[in-house]
Amino acid sequence: MTDLGKLGFGTWAMGGPYSFDGEPVGWGPSDDAESVRALRRALDLGVTLFDTADTYGCGHSETLVGQAFAGVRDQVVIATKWGFTFDAETRRMTGTDGSVGHLRRAVEGSLRRLGTDRIDLYQLHIGDLPLDQAALLRDECEALVAQGKIRSYGWSTDDPERARFFTEKPHGIAAQADVNVLFDNPEMYAGEYAVLCRRPLAMGLLARETFDVLPADDVRVTNPAWLRFFVDGRPSPEYFRAREAVRDVLTSGGRTLVQGALAWFWARSPRLVPIPGVRTVAQVEENAAALRFGPLTPDELAQVESVLR
């Protein structure tokens, strides 16, 4: 069975700029050489799970993951996603496609960009797809496992019913959902499956001490409907106050704020695997060092929960 470990790294920002409906959906400019160095450094430091999606940078993030791990493929666990359509030439996302035909095409595209013969965890990226359509995709995922193209699969969704549905067959093993210390969602991890936790650092709010002006093509500036941690490129006052309220307990024992935010997951549930987004070696080193500190103690966790919930 696919071993997801305790910590993975996310590669959305590494994909670089791209857009949907004329709005930026990337994280501003990226540096490919630094991205590849960061991914390799992560593996040196014992992190083996890497989360990407075909749509991040319209294929570019997957290409970088493939480059970084060429030659060491057997040492890493690659999780990617399908469900969005995009034009790699113009770097525009064009919509979604929840059909079986698209799944069959998408898996070939991801395998090619990743430079591999199998995907370890393949995740449905359309969070609200109706269950009758998802049932067809689930069957096709089992067929892709039998063909050796994927090892396991799951659904990136914030709906516990959908997450459970996609883990009912033998190779459905995980969901991916928004969970972090400032935005808990215990219903998502009440099941028997693992949960890759996206936005574990509240998109940087739990990581940065200062918030300079972000580039205009950073998704944190553009206020999409789902964005809760930032408003106009500045931290949301509500979540900023919550962060400050738990800062002391998260940073106890010599942890940085990031390391405390990651330690919260390991104290909260053994099913949770945070996948902080990274783009530099320095970020990778700080985040991977959280593993050395381990989980918050039961008392620290109780303090966080009593302040925030």
Which residues of the shown chain bind ligand NAP in the complex (CB under 6 A)? 10-13, 27, 51, 81, 125, 156, 176, 198-204, 207-208, 258, 275-279, 283, 286-287
Q: Which is nearer to ligand NAP, 102 or 298 (CB)?
A: 102
Q: Which is nearer to ligand NAP, 156 or 236 (CB)?
A: 156
CB of 265 to ligand NAP, least distance (A): 12
- Helix (H), strand (E) at residue 113: helix 100-114
Q: Which is nearer to ligand NAP, 144 or 202 (CB)?
A: 202
CB of 180 to ligand NAP, least distance (A): 7
Q: Which is nearer to ligand NAP, 121 or 258 (CB)?
A: 258
Please state, in angstroms and as integers, the Cα–Cα distance from residue 270 to each residue in 91, 108, 185, 192, 295, following that order. 38, 33, 15, 11, 10
CB of 73 to ligand NAP, least distance (A): 19
Long-range contacts (CB closer than 8 Å, 24 or more residues apart) made by 93-98: 93/18, 93/19, 93/20, 93/25, 93/55, 93/58, 96/125, 96/126, 98/124, 98/126, 98/129, 98/133, 98/134, 98/137
Q: Which is nearer to ligand NAP, 46 or 170 (CB)?
A: 46
CB of 253 to ligand NAP, least distance (A): 17
Q: What does the block give as tokens for 168?
A: 């009912």
CB of 201 to ligand NAP, least distance (A): 3
Please state, in angstroms and as integers, the Cα–Cα distance from residue 259 to each residue in 38, 89, 221, 249, 303, following that order. 18, 38, 25, 11, 17
